[in-house]
Structure formats: C-alpha cells, structure tokens
C-alpha cells in the first residue's frame, strides 16, 4: 500500500465511541419545591441524559440539559444512595436546579410539587427513594444539620450576589454567564464572566480544607506565582481570584513552556526560604527531613501488611526483610540529603501539568491542597516525571528543563550540592508522595483493593528507584 492509498484508507477508520454515563436527573424549580418528571400521571419517570465518562460531571450535565431541554441549570450534588440502593448496576443520579423560577417544562415533561409523589408514584422504585433522600439531604443542609452551602437550592444566586459585591471595587460587573466545573455540597469551582476579565470562585470542604488558608497565604506572600485573591468567604472556605490568561502546561507543546515552569518553580522555592513558620501556620504539611525520618518505619510496616495480603503474583511481593532493608536505605538517603544543608522551602505533592498555567512571559501554580514545607527538589522530580510520561520526552527537552531548574538553584547552592540533591530526588520523591499524606494510615482506605494496590505499586517503585540509586553510587565509586 502506498502513501496515497493509506491516506484514502484512513478516511474509513472510525474512531471508537466515547464511553458514556447515563444519569437520571432530579431537576428542581422554584427553590426546590417542584420536580420535573416525564408523564402527567403515575407511573412517572425522571428525565435522563448521557455525558462522557470520566469527565467533569457538573460542566457536562449543565451543557447537555441546556442543549436537550433548553433549560439553564446548575448542579447541586449527587444524592446519597448508600442506604437507599444496594448491589451493582444502580442508576446514577444528579440533583440540579433551574436558574429561572418560571422556566417552562419541555414537551412531554411536567413540573409537579415535590410533595405530590406518594410511594409507588415512579415506574422505578429507586427513583422514589432517590427523591426521598434528596429532599432529606436538602432539609439537613438548610437546617444546618449537615454542612453543605452548595447543596441548597438558590445557592448560585447567593454566590453571584456576593461575588458582584466584591468585584464592584475593581469596576467589574458580572455578565450573568458562568461555567460550573465542580459540584458537591461543600466543593465548588466556577468561572464568572464579567464586563472585562473573568474571575474564578473556588470553595473546598473536607479533606481539603487546608487549601483555603494556604491559597490565601500564598497569594499574600508570593504575588506573581499564584492567582491574585480578590476576596474570601471564610464560612464557605472559598476565595475569588482573577483569571490568568494562558493555558495549562498539559495543553501546550512548546518546550519553552516546560523550561519556564521549571525556572519559575525554582524562583518560587528560593523566595520561600525562611518562611517556614508562616507556611506551616497556614496549613502546609510538615515534610522536613526530621519529620520524614519518623514516617519511614510505620509506613513500611503498613506496606508489609499490605504485601502479605496480596493474592496474586506478579507483580512482585516484597517480603519483610526487603522492606526493612529499604527502610534503612531511605533513612540513609534522608540523612544524606540533610547533610547537604539545603534550606526547606515550599513544595507541592501534586505538581502536575494540569496545575501549572503558562503564558509567553509568566507561569502560575494552582491547587495547593497538597502544599508542604520540606526538601525543594522533590517537587521538581514530580514535574520531571510527568515530562517523561508525555510524548515530549526527548532527551534534549528533558535536559533543558533540568538545566533551567539547576541554573536557578545554583544561585543559592553549589553545583555539587544541586547535583547530589537531584540524584537523591527520584527515590525520596516516591517515598514522600506515598507517605507524606495520611491515606496510608486510614484502615478503611487500606481495605479498598484499588487503594491497597496503588500503595503496593508505589512501594515497589520505591524499591526499584533505590536499587537504581545504589547502582549509580557503585558506578561513581568504580
């Protein structure tokens, strides 16, 4: 087959369909007093839509409901069905509300009072249970029995009013158009359009409450490295920021973008030297070497128990002796790192390309729920690892990114210290990523097969990185 024939044949190749999730919608109107149903008389059914699997639910749901039914809506939450339904194959539900109280019902559907659905009103009894649980949850949010500012009907109006009041000082006026990217009772992420540049609102709940004070503190301490915070709402653990005009690093193919990210990370970390107390007070994790040394034994003991529970091989099961040896070598690597005299700085355990905004002349860093104070070079190792995993893994680009970060740190440290720290970073970065959060201490999480398998895989990788570190050391000695 020649090139022309191959090109013509390519026209017949059909892309595989995008997997879809089917959702049943509990769409409310008039402050949650009315529900949209199909059918004028029992048995009723709920409207259904399909959205791409593994993508943002709120953004896709709002778009599909607008396109299919002509209704402007916002998402509230996914109802708690842990008691109402059991087993596999249960339908997915999303609670939503209209943005206009008087919006008409689409053809074939009807707005009915939520209290007009006795038992057996729905063709599927699961829909009835889902509605009952939804109304119970809303009542608990409104009465303060449960935390959920964004689970109450009408929350978008309250948020919009607050945001408009705050941006008045900057001469901005909300246009009424917005994108809702995340939805849950305690989490929110929205982009509001204005008469000029857009603004973003983010709010967090457990287990990410620390992200609120950290983000506000970083905006105060390091302007130019993180988005500008224009207002805060402490009750909602939310903050409003200006929009950075640029793209996330995973959306660009320019090698300069990755190099600029590495350079800017070094600048931010050097700027954070000496601010340990302020960063820890804001909620950053304490991952200084002294703290990390105390984690080695309990973490690997937990991993030993997980390895014993592994039922299939491969993958490799590390026995207790191997894990004890690994623990000793991690402690040695941490001690060696401490001896280098590198100052503790701000770090980011989730430093991935999606959390990095880039433009031609600036980089900004987002999503600081996993901020820490400790060895700086570990954060760069996360960036380098993501680079290797992408299609932009050519040696020249990787070397250029490393060089930019090294060059920045050589203004504060000797070349020998920088080189030694980068050599230790691969194994220590895996250890800190695995042990630096509290997940491995949670018995419930460890009981979940996927979580247990992931932690075992990180431990195996740690073991492999340590072996490579030992091999490099022997090579240098020879």
Q: How far apart are CA 10 and CA 31, in angstroms?
A: 52
Element housing 76 (H / E)? strand 73-77
Task: State how far Cα 44 lies from the chain centre.
Answer: 37
Confidence band, pLDDT 50/70/90 cuts, at residue 399: confident
Q: What is the pLDDT of residue 393?
A: 52
364 pLDDT more than 80: yes
Q: What is the pLDDT of residue 205?
A: 96
| Of 117, 90, 107, nearest in space to 34 by CA | 117
Task: State how far Cα 122 lies from the chain centre.
Answer: 37
Q: Among residues of the chain, what percentage have pLDDT more than 70? A: 93
Element housing 177 (H / E)? strand 174-183
Q: Are 227 and 364 in contact (CB under 8 A)?
A: yes
Q: What is the pLDDT of residue 15?
A: 60
E-strand stretches of 219-299: 229-233, 238-242, 247-248, 285-286
Sequence-distant (≥ 6) Cβ neighbours of residue 396 within 8 angstroms: none
Q: Are 98 and 71 in contact (CB under 8 A)?
A: yes
Phi, psi (5° rounding) for residue 381? Answer: -65, -35
Q: Fill in the DSSP letter of residue 340.
A: T
| Cα dihedral value 117, 123, 124, 130, nearest 10 | -20
The mean per-residue pLDDT over the stretch 176-197 comes to: 96
Q: Are 92 and 23 in contact (CB under 8 A)?
A: yes
Q: Are 428 and 347 in contact (CB under 8 A)?
A: no
89 pLDDT more than 80: no
Q: How far apart are CA 388 and CA 394, in angstroms?
A: 8
Domains and CATH numbers, the chain: 20-146 (3.90.79.10), 155-242 (3.30.200.20), 247-477 (3.90.1200.10)
- CB neighbours (10 Å) of residue 327? 18
Q: pLDDT tens for residues 201-235?
A: 999 999 999 999 999 999 999 999 999 999 999 99
Confidence band, pLDDT 50/70/90 cuts, at residue 252: confident
Sequence-distant (≥ 6) Cβ neighbours of residue 97 within 8 angstroms: 27, 28, 29, 32, 73, 74, 76, 153, 154
Q: Are 54 and 92 in contact (CB under 8 A)?
A: no
Q: pLDDT tens for residues 260-292?
A: 999 999 999 999 999 999 999 999 999 999 999
Q: How far apart are CA 376 and CA 266, in angstroms?
A: 8
- CB neighbours (10 Å) of residue 161? 11
Three-state DSSP class for 113?
strand
Q: How far apart are CA 271 and CA 361, in angstroms?
A: 19
Q: Are 338 and 473 in contact (CB under 8 A)?
A: no
The mean per-residue pLDDT over the stretch 327-348 comes to: 98
Q: What is the pLDDT of residue 391?
A: 58
* Owner of token pair 């920045």: 408
Q: How far apart are CA 55 and CA 74, in angstroms?
A: 16
* Owner of token pair 């026209």: 11
Strands 238-242 and 199-203: antiparallel
Which of 374-394 are b and which e, b meaning 16 or more Cβ less than 10 Å from the residue's Cβ?
A: bbbbbbbbbbbbbbeeeebee
Lowest mean pLDDT among 82-91, 117-126, 381-390: 82-91
397 pLDDT more than 90: no
Q: What is the pLDDT of residue 3?
A: 40
């Amino acid at each position: 087959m020649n090139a022309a024939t191959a090109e013509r044949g390519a026209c017949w190749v059909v892309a595989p369909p995008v997997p879809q999730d089917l959702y049943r919608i509990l769409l409310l109107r008039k402050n949650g007093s009315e529900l949209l149903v199909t059918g004028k008389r029992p048995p009723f059914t709920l409207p259904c839509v399909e959205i791409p699997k593994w993508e943002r639910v709120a953004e896709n749901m709002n778009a599909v409901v607008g396109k299919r039914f002509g209704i402007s809506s916002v998402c509230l939450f996914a109802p708690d069905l842990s008691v109402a339904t059991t087993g596999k194959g249960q339908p997915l539900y999303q609670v939503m509300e209209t943005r206009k109280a008087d919006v008409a019902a689409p053809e074939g559907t009807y707005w009915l009072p939520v209290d007009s659905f006795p038992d057996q009103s729905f063709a599927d009894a699961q829909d009835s249970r889902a509605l009952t649980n939804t109304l119970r949850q809303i009542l608990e949010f409104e009465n303060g029995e449960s935390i959920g500012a964004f689970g109450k009907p009408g929350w978008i109006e309250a948020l919009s009013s607050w945001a408009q009041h705050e941006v008045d000082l900057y001469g901005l006026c909300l246009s009424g158009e917005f994108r809702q990217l995340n939805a849950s009772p305690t989490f929110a992420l929205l982009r509001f359009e204005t008469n000029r540049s857009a603004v973003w609102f983010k709010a967090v709940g457990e287990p990410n409450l620390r992200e609120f004070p950290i983000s506000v503190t970083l905006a105060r301490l390091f302007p130019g490295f993180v988005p500008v915070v224009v207002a805060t709402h402490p009750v909602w653990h939310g903050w409003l920021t200006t929009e950075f005009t640029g793209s996330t690093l995973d959306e660009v193919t320019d090698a300069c973008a990755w190099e600029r990210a590495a350079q800017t990370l070094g600048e931010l970390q050097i700027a954070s030297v000496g601010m340990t107390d302020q960063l820890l007070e804001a909620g950053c994790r304490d991952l200084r070497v002294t703290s990390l040394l105390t984690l080695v034994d309990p973490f690997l003991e937990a991993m030993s128990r997980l390895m014993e529970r592994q039922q299939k091989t491969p993958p490799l099961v590390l026995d207790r002796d191997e894990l004890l040896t690994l623990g000793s070598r991690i402690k040695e690597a941490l001690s060696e790192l401490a001896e280098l005299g590198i100052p503790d700085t701000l770090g980011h355990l989730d430093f991935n390309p999606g959390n990095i905004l880039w433009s031609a002349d600036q980089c900004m860093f987002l999503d600081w729920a996993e901020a820490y104070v400790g060895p700086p070079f570990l954060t760069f190792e996360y960036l380098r690892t993501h680079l290797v995993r992408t299609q932009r893994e050519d040696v020249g680009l990787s070397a250029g990114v490393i060089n930019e970060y090294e060059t920045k740190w050589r203004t504060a440290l000797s070349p020998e210290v920088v080189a030694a720290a980068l050599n230790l970073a691969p194994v220590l970065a895996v250890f800190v990523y695995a042990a630096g959060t509290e997940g491995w201490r949670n018995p419930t999480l460890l009981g979940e097969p996927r979580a247990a398998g992931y932690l075992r895989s990180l431990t195996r990788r740690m073991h492999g990185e340590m072996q490579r570190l030992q091999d490099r050391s022997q090579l240098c000695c020879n």
